[in-house]
Structure 1
């Protein structure tokens, strides 16, 4: 049994959304089993825009490729800031953890080292804006600032739950 079959126990089934560039909905539940975070289940109907790669780089790294399933998992983690559907205003997974799961999923899919390293580094450098935007979309609140002398425990106590 290959690593991809063990790590991705369900096959990926999607539907395109007409009139939207690079937009897909999951047509069936999808899952990934992470070594560090266990099983991550995505529901039918989850929306993804695949790998959010700037158009300039599409010749080398198209939005869909061998890493498509990993990109969909990553979109789910960024949207929920958790390994499961998250309706609260708490962040249950750090951005670094979400990006590490993305790297793990790409490796399980057999994405070559250069491609997965490049995409991972790009996500680490450029994913912060999407992470903050997703928090605001999900909660309707501004993204919390880092701890300060005035509010040293606000970020840790309210927004990173373990």
Structure 2
């Protein structure tokens, strides 16, 4: 659930800057995207921007997802969870199911190239598509209790 209003100001090259901190709540957990964070909206290939505007109805999810993929993410949330949060926010903000499925599939398939090194805590790093290690189970059990995704 959106806790503050998303206020973006276009800058250049299809990017925008947050004019105020943006806070989104999932099951009581607050994700805080800092003021002055720069986003490119939804990372839609230029050839598809006639169909999917990078700043369409899914912009709230895209901004949070961009932040979680950035080097400023110190939450401990890894790429898998960031993608699930992206899907959750799109569903919660009323994006149609077909678009949610397409965008989620796109970030799962192509997001690895955008996944940045974290400055502080990058959380549990997936080692395989299906990882049954003790570390993985503990990590996902911890976040499942917090986020309930």
TM-score by length of 2: 0.75
Tell whether 2:14 aligns with 1:22. Answer: yes
Instruction: Give the 3-state SS of the residue equivalent to 2:106 in structure 1.
Output: helix
C-alpha RMSD of matched pairs (Å): 2.7
Task: Say yes or no: does 1:12 pair with 2:3.
Answer: no
Larger Rg belongs to: 1
Tell me: CA distance 1:81–1:65, structure 2 relative to 1, closer, same or farther (3 Å): same
1:5-154 mapped onto 2 (5 Å cutoff): 7-17=1-11, 20-35=12-27, 38-80=29-71, 82=73, 86=74, 92-131=76-115, 134-135=116-117, 138=119, 146=127
When the two structures are aligned, how many residues end up with a matched partner?
A: 129
The runs of at least 4 consecutive aligned structure 1 residues that moved more than 6 Å come to none
In the alignment, the residues of structure 1 paired with residue 24 and residue 34 of structure 2 have an alpha-carbon distance, to the nearest angstrom, of 12
Partner Cα separation in structure 1 for residue 14 and residue 38 of structure 2 = 10
Q: Normalising by the residue count of structure 1, what TM-score does the alignment of the two structures yield?
A: 0.70
- Given that 1:81 and 1:94 are in contact with CA atoms closer than 8 Å, whether structure 2 keeps it comes out as no
Equivalent in the alignment of 2:147: none
Provide Cα deviations, 1:43-89, integer angstroms capped at 9, x if missing partner: 1111111111111111222211000111000000000474xxx3xxx
Tell me the residue number matched to 2:132.
Answer: none
Structure 1: unaligned runs, 5 residues or longer: 1-6, 148-155
